[in-house]
């Protein structure tokens, strides 16, 4: 069932050969240099109340930290993680890219900051930026597959948790900090960040911040979907800054802390100019529509050890977020999105019950979203959740068993929704999992995880009804259906079928091989999702919808409008996307490994593959990432290292209706990292990077802007980071 193409077979064969040759090697897998990369396999997963690591988690989890995080850090969270096995990006021109986990994104992938929801509107549209920041992060945790037990139904596809130090849980031993500067050539990026944490009597104080600015980025010359020859992705600029402060009170039995964060971003919305309107920026240059976003975020964390005879540890996490995103056209806000959100999680770790250690808790979530203006395709909506969960773990011989259950009450309601009578819906998702880890030999471990996860459809998936020009579509939610009155005449009516819970049954089988100079991770997975919500291209044009009624003023794409065009000239309209539910299956594999050849040379590689299709044979799902394989060769010296890497993205020909085939492409990258000994007391690092050295034209199949926003062309960047 799992397709393994020739390059992957070669990679596996090479890995096995390396494994055999290193069975007789005794040198440890660590650098001989003064500077070493983090061994992320032993880093604690902060998002797991049972304090597991990658190696003893039955669910596939990976952690990006240390120099590896600095090397891969980009403006967006999606682009930062895009080189991880099983992870891709929506690639909205590098301004708002979100992570895709095993082909799933949007409302199925939970994005969190220190364990609490990012509280933006990025899950509803690819042109909305994620409000987490990676340049000041300590580590990023990636849960592949359903992680609903702790995070709820919005994590049916996985979780990405960005961890920083804004609320300390213990003293740092005086003071510590970091600073960094970087720039690049393809977009003229200028960036800086800093962070500082210090003990003061019984408290720990923290502050961090960043500022980033780049212009439109350069690409190999290409022809966009309007037939224009371009060598830059127009309107792909970014201007972002943020500041976080926090303080913790540390006492004998725990800690209690408070933090405040402010994030501001302005970024272009590439691929179109709404209504042809443009305005001049501060330099007098013409630019298209852009997003203007800000967020205020308050978090409260607390932890208490042994608060009672039955409880080993009690943890409180609360967050309040006030968020606004405006899309600016002709110097005025055309559309405004707001979100006010409260979230509370109370988790208690209990002493062993019949040998089972565990954690149980209560999770509350309340989200109030509003949208008004030209692209308010979803009415104001409220979503509230109450949930109880219980996670358990016990060792039986060599088997470390892990299980859990979650019961959730979800209510989604909308104000001013048109046509439909049902404006409030209640769901009761129930999720459970069972898995184990077991050593097969002294250096080979197996992990198996079975899960059943349920998800309530989001407000956007239920109630959307309007033009969404960022994706050049007219979107209709699950509560609507199309009725054909006559040729070129369709009416939007209430759907006679009630929306149902998504129900996912998945299995992950993982192998981890660890030898002195070699390690290999391999995972195969299968995920069957019933009542899967997806947007299907109906073949109907927005000009065919209810001519002359109240929708007529919002269904035109004025970029293509011709005032003399016939009323059925579809170049002036938008394709209608209708949310539907269907049973689907997703399966694939992920592999990664590294081989220390000797003290100076290390070879590493990864590969992944995902297939997503309807169970009934109706075809493949849209925007599924293509198969990839990548390799790196690294040379390590005492105070510097160099790396040459190549990643090939295969052709994506398994496509949904009305999609086009995406050609394959390869990316050649090089990097030199310097660790000057003269200033080594500050932990100084200098990064020199060259990306896409051959200036390859690469189109990303998972992107809504595939034909308008290729990946960056040849790019040179330099950065430095100091730690003290």
pLDDT of residue 695: 97
Least confident segment among 23-37, 194-208, 436-450, 459-473? 23-37
Number of other CB atoms surrounding residue 192 within 10 Å: 17
3-state class (DSSP) for residue 662: strand
Per-residue pLDDT tens digits for 635-657: 999 889 999 999 999 999 999 88
pLDDT of residue 42: 58
pLDDT of residue 569: 56
Number of other CB atoms surrounding residue 694 within 10 Å: 12
Sorted by where each begins, the domain ranges of the chain are: 6-723
DSSP state of 106: G
Reading the block at residue 712, the tokens are 């960056």
pLDDT of residue 567: 52
Instruction: Using the predicted structure, report yes or no on whether residue 148 has a pLDDT greater than 70.
Output: yes
Per-residue pLDDT tens digits for 176-228: 999 999 999 999 999 999 999 999 999 999 999 999 999 999 999 999 878 88
Shortest CA distance to 138 belongs to which of 189, 197, 91? 197
Instruction: Using the predicted structure, report yes or no on whether residue 519 has a pLDDT greater than 70.
Output: yes
Per-residue pLDDT tens digits for 48-96: 787 777 777 889 999 999 888 988 999 999 999 999 999 999 999 989 9
Please tell me the distance from the alpha carbon of residue 343 to that of residue 320, in angstroms, as a whole number: 7
pLDDT of residue 373: 83
3-state class (DSSP) for residue 408: strand
pLDDT bracket for residue 591 (50, 70, 90): very high
pLDDT of residue 360: 96
Instruction: Using the predicted structure, report yes or no on whether residue 17 has a pLDDT greater than 50.
Output: no
pLDDT of residue 271: 74
Tell me the backbone φ, ψ of residue 153, rounded to 5 degrees: -65, -20
pLDDT of residue 43: 72
pLDDT of residue 643: 96
C-alpha of 433 from chain center: 23
Instruction: Using the predicted structure, report yes or no on whether residue 15 has a pLDDT greater than 70.
Output: no
Instruction: Using the predicted structure, report yes or no on whether residue 277 has a pLDDT greater than 70.
Output: no
pLDDT of residue 575: 85
What is the CATH topology of the domain spanning 6-723?
Maltoporin; Chain A (2.40.170)
pLDDT bracket for residue 693 (50, 70, 90): very high
pLDDT of residue 284: 42
pLDDT of residue 422: 72
Reading the block at residue 248, the tokens are 């913790």
Asked if 366 contacts 400 with a C-beta cutoff of 8 angstroms, the reply is no
The Cβ-side half-sphere exposure at 488, using a 13 Å CA radius, reads 9
Characterize 252-272 residue by residue with b for buried, 16 or more Cβ atoms within 10 angstroms of its Cβ, and e for exposed.
eebbbbbbebebebbbbbbbb
Averaged pLDDT score across all residues of the chain: 87
DSSP states of 631-653: EEEEEE-SSEEEEEEEEEEPPB-
Helices (H) and strands (E) in the chain, counts: 5, 38
Which residues have CB under 8 Å from 506's CB, separation 6+?
145, 146, 450, 451, 453, 525, 526, 527, 528
Instruction: Using the predicted structure, report yes or no on whether residue 29 has a pLDDT greater than 70.
Output: no
pLDDT of residue 564: 42
Instruction: Using the predicted structure, report yes or no on whether residue 570 has a pLDDT greater than 60.
Output: no
Instruction: Using the predicted structure, report yes or no on whether residue 13 has a pLDDT greater than 70.
Output: no
Shortest CA distance to 554 belongs to which of 564, 565, 542, 566? 542
Reading the block at residue 344, the tokens are 């509370």
pLDDT of residue 44: 75
End-to-end CA distance of the chain: 51
Q: Output the CA–CA distances (angstroms, integers) from residue 226 to 218, 287, 708, in the order listed.
A: 18, 18, 9
Shortest CA distance to 91 belongs to which of 623, 629, 664, 694? 623
Shortest CA distance to 587 belongs to which of 516, 508, 690? 508
Tell me the average pLDDT across 564-585. Answer: 75
Which residues have CB under 8 Å from 549's CB, separation 6+?
none
pLDDT of residue 571: 58
Region class of 433: left (phi > 0), else alpha (psi between -120 and 50), else beta: beta
Per-residue pLDDT tens digits for 454-466: 999 999 999 988 8
The Cβ-side half-sphere exposure at 557, using a 13 Å CA radius, reads 22
Asked if 190 contacts 180 with a C-beta cutoff of 8 angstroms, the reply is no
Instruction: Using the predicted structure, report yes or no on whether residue 551 has a pLDDT greater than 60.
Output: no
Shortest CA distance to 477 belongs to which of 455, 494, 490? 494
Instruction: Using the predicted structure, report yes or no on whether residue 318 has a pLDDT greater than 80.
Output: yes
Instruction: Using the predicted structure, report yes or no on whether residue 126 has a pLDDT greater than 90.
Output: no
Which residues have CB under 8 Å from 521's CB, separation 6+?
85, 510, 511, 512, 513, 590, 591, 592, 593
Percent of all residues in the chain with a pLDDT value above 90, rounded to a whole number? 65
Per-residue pLDDT tens digits for 392-426: 999 999 999 999 999 999 999 998 777 777 789 99
Q: Which residue has tokens 């996912």?
A: 504
- The more confidently predicted of residues 478 and 14 is 478
pLDDT of residue 552: 43
Reading the block at residue 328, the tokens are 């600016």
Per-residue pLDDT tens digits for 149-182: 888 888 999 999 999 999 999 999 999 999 999 9
């Amino acid at each position: 069932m799992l397709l393994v193409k020739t390059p992957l077979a070669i990679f596996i064969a090479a890995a096995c050969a390396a494994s055999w040759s290193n069975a007789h090697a005794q040198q440890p897998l660590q650098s001989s240099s003064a500077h070493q990369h983090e061994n992320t396999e032993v880093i604690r997963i902060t998002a797991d109340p049972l304090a597991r690591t990658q190696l003893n988690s039955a669910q596939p989890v990976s952690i990006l930290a240390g120099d590896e995080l600095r090397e891969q850090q980009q403006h967006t969270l999606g682009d930062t993680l895009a080189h991880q096995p099983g992870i891709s990006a929506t690639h909205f021109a590098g301004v708002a890219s979100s992570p895709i986990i095993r082909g799933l994104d949007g409302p199925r992938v939970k994005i969190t900051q220190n364990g609490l929801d990012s509280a933006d509107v990025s899950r509803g549209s690819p042109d909305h930026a994620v409000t987490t920041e990676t340049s000041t992060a300590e580590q990023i945790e990636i849960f592949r597959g359903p992680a609903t037990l702790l995070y709820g139904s919005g994590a049916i596809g996985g979780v990405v948790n960005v961890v920083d130090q804004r609320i300390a849980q213990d003293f740092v031993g005086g003071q510590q900090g970091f600073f960094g500067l970087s720039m690049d050539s393809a977009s003229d990026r200028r960036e800086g960040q800093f962070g500082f944490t210090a003990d003061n009597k019984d408290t720990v104080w923290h502050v961090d911040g960043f500022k980033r600015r780049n212009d439109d980025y350069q690409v190999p010359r290409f022809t966009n979907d309007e037939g224009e020859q371009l060598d830059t992705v127009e309107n792909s600029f970014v201007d972002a800054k943020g500041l976080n402060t926090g303080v913790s009170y540390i006492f004998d039995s725990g800690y209690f802390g408070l933090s405040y964060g402010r994030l501001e971003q302005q970024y272009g919305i590439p691929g179109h100019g709404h209504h042809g309107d443009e305005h001049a920026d501060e330099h007098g240059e013409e630019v298209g529509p852009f997003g203007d976003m800000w967020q205020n975020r308050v978090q409260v964390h607390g932890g208490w050890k042994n608060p009672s005879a039955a409880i080993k540890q009690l943890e409180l996490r609360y967050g309040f977020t006030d968020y606004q995103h405006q899309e600016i056209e002709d110097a005025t806000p055309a559309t405004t999105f707001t979100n006010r959100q409260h979230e509370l999680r109370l988790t208690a770790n209990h002493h062993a019950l019949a040998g089972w250690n565990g954690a149980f808790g209560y999770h509350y979530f309340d989200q109030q979203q509003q949208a008004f203006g030209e692209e308010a395709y979803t009415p104001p909506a409220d979503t509230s959740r109450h949930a109880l969960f219980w996670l358990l773990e016990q060792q039986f011989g060599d088997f470390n068993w892990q299980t859990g259950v979650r019961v959730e009450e979800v209510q989604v309601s909308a104000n001013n929704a048109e046509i439909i009578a049902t404006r409030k819906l209640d769901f009761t998702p129930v999720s459970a999992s069972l898995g184990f880890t077991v050593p097969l030999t002294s250096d080979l471990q197996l992990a198996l995880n079975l899960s059943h996860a349920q998800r309530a459809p989001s407000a956007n998936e239920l109630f959307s009804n309007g033009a969404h020009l960022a994706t050049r579509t007219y979107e209709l939610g699950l509560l609507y259906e199309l009725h054909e009155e006559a040729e070129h005449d369709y009416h939007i009516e209430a759907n006679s079928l009630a929306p149902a819970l998504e129900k996912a049954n998945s299995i992950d089988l993982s192998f981890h091989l660890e030898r002195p100079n070699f390690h290999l991770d391999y995972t195969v997975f299968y995920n069957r999702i019933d009542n899967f919500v997806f947007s299907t291209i109906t073949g109907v044009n927005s000009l065919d919808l209810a001519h002359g009624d109240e929708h007529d003023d919002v269904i035109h794409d004025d970029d293509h409008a011709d005032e003399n065009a016939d009323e059925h000239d579809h170049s002036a309209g938008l394709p209608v996307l209708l949310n539907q539910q269907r049973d689907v299956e997703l399966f694939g594999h992920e592999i990664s490994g590294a081989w220390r050849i000797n003290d100076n040379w290390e070879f590493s590689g990864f590969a992944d593959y995902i297939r997503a299709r309807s169970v009934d044979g109706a075809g493949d799902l849209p925007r599924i990432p293509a198969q990839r394989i990548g390799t790196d060769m690294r040379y390590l010296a005492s105070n510097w290292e160099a790396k040459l890497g190549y990643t090939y993205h295969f052709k994506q020909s398994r496509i949904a209706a009305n999609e086009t085939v995406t050609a394959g492409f390869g990316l050649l990258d090089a990097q030199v990292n310097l660790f000057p000994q003269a200033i080594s007391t500050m932990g100084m690092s200098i990064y020199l990077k060259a990306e896409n050295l051959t200036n390859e034209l690469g189109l990303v199949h998972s992107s809504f802007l595939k034909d308008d926003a290729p990946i960056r062309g040849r790019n040179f960047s330099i950065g430095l980071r100091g730690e003290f």
